[in-house]
Chain A
Amino acid sequence: MGFFVETLIGGLMAGMLYSLVALGFVLIFKASGVFNFAQGAMVLFAALAMARFAVWIPGWLGIDNALLGNILAFLAAGGLMFAVAWLIERLVLRHLVNQEGATLLMATLGIAYILEGLGTSIFGSDIYKIDIGMPKDPVMILEGTFEGGLLINKEDFVAALIAAVLVGLLTLFFQKTSTGRALRAVADDHQAAQSIGIPLNRIWVIVWCVAGVVALVAGVIWGSKLGVQFSLATVALRALPVVILGGLTSVPGAILGGLIIGVGEKLSEVYLGPHIGGGIEIWFSYQLALVFLLFRPQGLFGEKIIDRV
């Protein structure tokens, strides 16, 4: 029983991180109808920037304080992601307005290549570490309740907490600020939003900036857990079933979807895996999403698809 709870918690925490990446997908899809395959590359790029700036900036400025160095690096990496967002809008999306989904998808794949190439050529292709002082060793809790206690990883816990806070902030941003309202208006109907004077181009830049920051946070958390390295770009593939399960246009969907996928894949790997050979989590999460899709083709919270001839 104790072990089951542990797996469950492990799944929830992994799921929280998937939600974070999935959120990046959803934000951009909602606002511009672009399925952004470059999200994984953005996570990698942001994490690389953060990891290297954390070494370079203190070196340039002669700062000794690790915390201050990290904060400056975070700000610099954030600034870089803003620049990237602006460039993407300027150089790519602006020229592809009103194109089909497949074309836009392809364009984001092009962006992904450029970001991967640029990121590794500017920042190097070694494994780098992001040290934001996360605790690494596990703790045991509730030893009275369960036999052998529950092993909880503080790092995962902090990471999940940060992710939760970020999601909360984004929700507030979307619901309460005027920019947020404009974003939602654009998401609902491009033309209507434009006709009441919402500047589409600026909105897109903002959305990509927000997605960039989300990528940065995801990159920092992931990077501090696993080290910053090229493989970070593949987290996008892990987050795809989450988006599909939750619905491409729904923020709560991304969060709930992340938790479901996280728990589903960990439980399946631990309890089902050993009987059929192991290594099943990656396809299991896709099958899980697929089963959900068969019942709700637009995802859990996606907008209902209405066909008109």
Chain B
Amino acid sequence: MKPRKLARAGIFAGAFLASLASASTALAQAKEQFFPVLVYRTGAYAPNGSQWANGYVDYLKLSNAKGGINGVRISFEECETAYATDRGVECYERLKGKNGGATVFQPLSTGVTFALTEKAPVDKIPLITAGYGRSESQNGAVFTWNFPLLGTYWVGADVAIQHIAKKEGGAGKLKGKKIALVYHDSPYGKEPIPVLQELGKTHGFEVQLLPVAHPGVEQKATWLQIRQQKPDYVLLWGWGVMNSTALREAQSTGYPREKMIGVWWAGAEPDVKDVAEGAKGYSALTLQHGAEPNSKVVKDMLEQVYAKGQGTGPKDEVGQVLYMRGLLSAMLAVEGVRKAQERYGKGKVMSGEQVRWGLENLNLDQKTLDAMGFAGVMRPVQTSCLDHMGSSWVRVHTWNGKKWEFTSDWYQADEKTLRPMVMLASSKYAEEKKLKPRSPEECKK
């Protein structure tokens, strides 16, 4: 038994030494801005997770191909979380100190975001949660380190109702309607509920809640209930295989897909591809962008990364919805670093704290975006101390059986409804944690 035991001990020791060694060699080459990448390429949510990850990593490669951030090269390392909170926390701990320190974390999981929200302020590393995470973290005075850029679930819920109201011909027509929310039974799926209930009270529609247990392959009973209750609209708040299952069940119970609206995590190719014709007419919100195969940034990507054989994923997935979401998320992080360099020194490696300042003072106007190749993909973003979201533009796109097509104008979330809710929820959080919200003066620092 003994040699075997020794061998095993050796393997462990080797693994740890290797990890320690790689951590220490990293200090020597500190001229690189390190981006940890938390991904999930395995498990129940892999089909969606890997596209996002490909877009994210590809954009980092593209930035390097374009000369880095004012000359500072980007290094990155992936860590697999399998969409599990404890694995996500382990990855965070593993990567946060590596290669001179992590720039920013983007966990792509609401559960991991909740756990990291407690840890990030201690380690002074910002969290970007573009289109997910805690909705009340929009209030940067309390959530100093969280950046739910471009939109939160509350924005999503509000815009979905606006869209329905528009289809019905005015908010007044919502009275007496019945709207069902089919949601992933987790913090992610529960986030929109308070906004929907609030709006339901204002407009006089009824909200019906239908939870679906993880991973969401068992929805027969849910759709039987929908068939019985006949809601006027169904909002789909799913992720991964839950989305395609919902569409298949809608098809088999004969619920019209035109009356179904998904959140932006339920509106990508993996969700509808295999249902194909069965999903025709289904719409989903977009986080500004849809599938953008013709945008300039995608063309750059194909030329400068894929043509050299350095692409991360399959070439035909470049420009798809979730790929673009990953790409955009990476772009926001890179621009945060660029902004920080404007203040703390161009061509230098930025610390997490400095990047946080950059993200808080992010100001991407249309001209800058167009120059970077994002014309038609996204609209300007401007963050501030009180608003870590930056913008809340949303469009709706519809699956025509073959691809996603935009079918609506731009919407913007109704600040009058959401702002008080954000303030209320964030001040409750501050009270629980005994945090003092930053004053306007502190913000200016």
In-complex Cβ contact of B47 among A125, A137, A270 (8 A) = A125
Given contacts A3-B228, A230-B44, A270-B228, contact A265 B217 (CB under 8 A): no
- Which of B211, B245, B252, B270 has most A Cβ within 10 Å? B252
Report the Cα distance A131→B254, complex, angstroms.
20
0/1 string, A83-112, CB within 8 A of B gives 1: 000000000000000000000000000000
B212–A127 touching, CB < 8 Å = no
Give the contacting residue for A281; candidates B217, B218, B228; CB below 8 A.
B218
Does residue B225 face the partner (Cβ distance < 8 Å to A)?
yes
Per-residue CB contact flags for chain B residues 206-240 toward chain A (1 = under 8 Å, else 0) read: 00011111011110111011011000000000001
Asked if B288 lies at the interface with its beta carbon under 8 angstroms from chain A, I say no
The answer to whether A229 and B42 touch (CB under 8 A), given A127-B241, A270-B225, is: no
Chain B residue nearest in CB terms to A13? B220
User: B46 to A230, Cβ gap below 8 A?
Assistant: yes
A7, A229, A230, A282: the one within 8 Å of B224 (CB): A7
Cβ-defined contact, B47 with A229, below 8 A: yes
A30 located at the interface, meaning its Cβ lies under 8 Å from any Cβ of chain B in the complex: no
Given contacts A7-B224, A238-B218, contact A137 B251 (CB under 8 A): yes
In the complex, the answer to whether A273 meets B225 with C-beta atoms within 8 Å is yes
Q: How large is the interface on B (under 10, 10 to 19, 20 to 34, 35 or more residues)?
A: 35 or more
Contact B213 A231 (CB under 8 A): no
Assuming A151-B227, A278-B209, A278-B211, is B248 touching A226 (CB within 8 A)?
Answer: yes
Check A136/B252 contact, CB under 8 A, given A226-B241, A229-B44, A279-B212: yes
B224 touches A156 (CB 8 A): no
| Total count of chain A residues near the partner, CB < 8 A | 39
Q: Let me know if A138 and B228 touch, CB within 8 A.
A: no
Which of B215, B221, B252, B278 has a CB less than 8 Å from the CB of A273? B221
> Does B253 interact with chain A (Cβ within 8 Å)?
yes
Looking at the complex, which one of A14, A129, A227 makes contact with B241 (CB distance below 8 Å)? Answer: A227
Residues of B within 8 A of A299 (CB): none
Partner of A266 from B209, B210, B217, B224 at Cβ < 8 Å: B224
| B354 interface residue per 8 A CB criterion | no
B166 smallest CB distance to A (angstroms): 29
Contact, CB under 8 Å: B225 / A231 = no
| Of A226, A265, A266, most B-chain CB atoms within 10 Å | A226
Determine whether A225 belongs to the interface, using a CB cutoff of 8 Å to chain B: yes
B384 CB–A CB distance under 8 Å: no
Residues of B within 8 A of A278 (CB): 209-211
Contacts of A266 in B (CB 8 A): 220-221, 224
Shortest CB distance A141–B (Å): 13
B248: A residues at CB distance < 8 A? 136, 225-227
A151 to B249 alpha-carbon distance, docked (Å):
13
Contact of B41 with A by CB under 8 A:
yes
Q: Which residues from B are CB-within-8-Å of A199?
A: none
Bound CA–CA A96/B227 (angstroms): 51
- Whether, in the assembled complex, A234 has its beta carbon less than 8 Å from a beta carbon of chain B, the answer is yes
Q: Is the CB of A136 within 8 A of B278?
A: yes
Q: Which of A203-244 contact B (CB under 8 A)?
A: 225-227, 229-232, 234-235, 238
Q: Which of B42, B213, B251, B274 contacts A127 (CB 8 A)?
A: B274
Does B383 interact with chain A (Cβ within 8 Å)?
A: no
Minimum CB–CB distance for A5 against chain B, Å? 12
Instruction: For the complex, give the distance between the alpha carbons of A129 and B271 in Å.
Output: 12
- With A125-B50, A278-B209 known to touch, is A155 a contact of B252 (CB < 8 Å)? yes
Separation in Å of the A221 CB from the closest CB of chain B?
13
Specify which chain A residues have a CB less than 8 angstroms from the CB of B251 in the assembled complex. 136-137
Q: How far is the CB of B313 from chain A (nearest CB, A)?
A: 11
- Which of A137, A235, A270 sits near B254, CB closer than 8 Å? A137
Q: Which residues of A have CB within 8 Å of B209?
A: 278
CB of B238 to closest CB in A, whole Å: 12
Q: Which residues of B contact A137 (CB under 8 A)?
A: 251-252, 254
Interface residues of B in 359-378 (CB under 8 A from A): none
Which residue of A136, A156, A231, A282 has the most chain B CB atoms within 10 A of its CB atom? Answer: A231
The answer to the question of B244 belonging to the interface, with a C-beta cut-off of 8 Å to chain A, is yes
- Answer yes or no: A298 CB below 8 A from chain B CBs: no
Contact with B along A20-50 (1 / 0, CB 8 A): 0000000000000000000000000000000
Bound form: Cα–Cα A265–B222 in Å? 11
The answer on a CB contact under 8 Å between A151 and B254 is yes
Do the beta carbons of A279 and B274 come within 8 Å of each other? Answer: no
A120 near B210: Cβ-Cβ < 8 Å: no
A17 CA to B230 CA, complexed, in Å: 27
Confirm or deny: B43 has a beta carbon within 8 angstroms of a beta carbon on chain A. Answer: yes
* A143 within 8 A of partner (CB): no
**What is the CA–CA distance of A223 and B351 in the complex, to the nearest angstrom?**
48
Smallest distance from the beta carbon of B43 to chain A beta carbons, Å?
6
Interface residue? B198 (CB, 8 A): no
Which partner residue on chain B sits nearest A138 by CB separation? B254
Interface residues of A in 241-267 (CB under 8 A from B): 265-266
User: In the complex, how many angstroms separate the beta carbon of B206 from the nearest chain A beta carbon?
Assistant: 13
Q: Which of B42, B185, B224, B273 contacts A125 (CB 8 A)?
A: B42
Q: Which residues of A contact B185 (CB under 8 A)?
A: 279
- Complex interface: chain A residues within 8 A of B254 (CB): 137-138, 151
Q: How far is the CB of B279 from chain A (nearest CB, A)?
A: 11
Distance from B374 Cβ to chain A, minimum over Cβ atoms (Å): 27
CA distance A126 to B44 in the complex (A): 9
Nearest CB of chain B from residue A118's CB, rounded to whole Å: 12
Q: Do the beta carbons of B244 and A120 come within 8 Å of each other?
A: no
B 56-94 to A, binary, CB cutoff 8 A, 1 in contact else 0 = 000000000000000000000000000000000000000
Q: Which residue from chain A places its CB closest to the CB of B210 in the assembled complex?
A: A278
A127 touches B47 (CB 8 A): yes
**From A151, A274, A277, contact of B225 by CB (8 A):** A274
Q: How far is the CB of A264 from chain B (nearest CB, A)?
A: 11
Whether B274 contacts A120 by the Cβ 8 Å rule is no
Question: Assuming A126-B50, A269-B222, A270-B225, what are 18 further A-B pairs, CB within 8 angstroms?
Answer: A6-B227, A10-B220, A10-B224, A14-B220, A126-B47, A127-B274, A129-B274, A153-B253, A227-B244, A227-B274, A231-B215, A234-B217, A269-B224, A269-B225, A270-B228, A273-B221, A278-B211, A281-B221
Rank and list the top 5 A-B pairs by shortest CB-CB distance, nearest first: A269-B221, A279-B211, A231-B215, A129-B274, A125-B46
What are 24 A-to-B residue pairs whose CB atoms are below 8 Å?
Answer: A6-B224, A120-B42, A125-B41, A125-B42, A125-B43, A125-B47, A127-B273, A136-B252, A137-B251, A137-B254, A138-B253, A138-B254, A151-B227, A155-B252, A225-B248, A226-B241, A229-B44, A230-B46, A231-B44, A231-B241, A266-B220, A270-B225, A278-B209, A279-B213
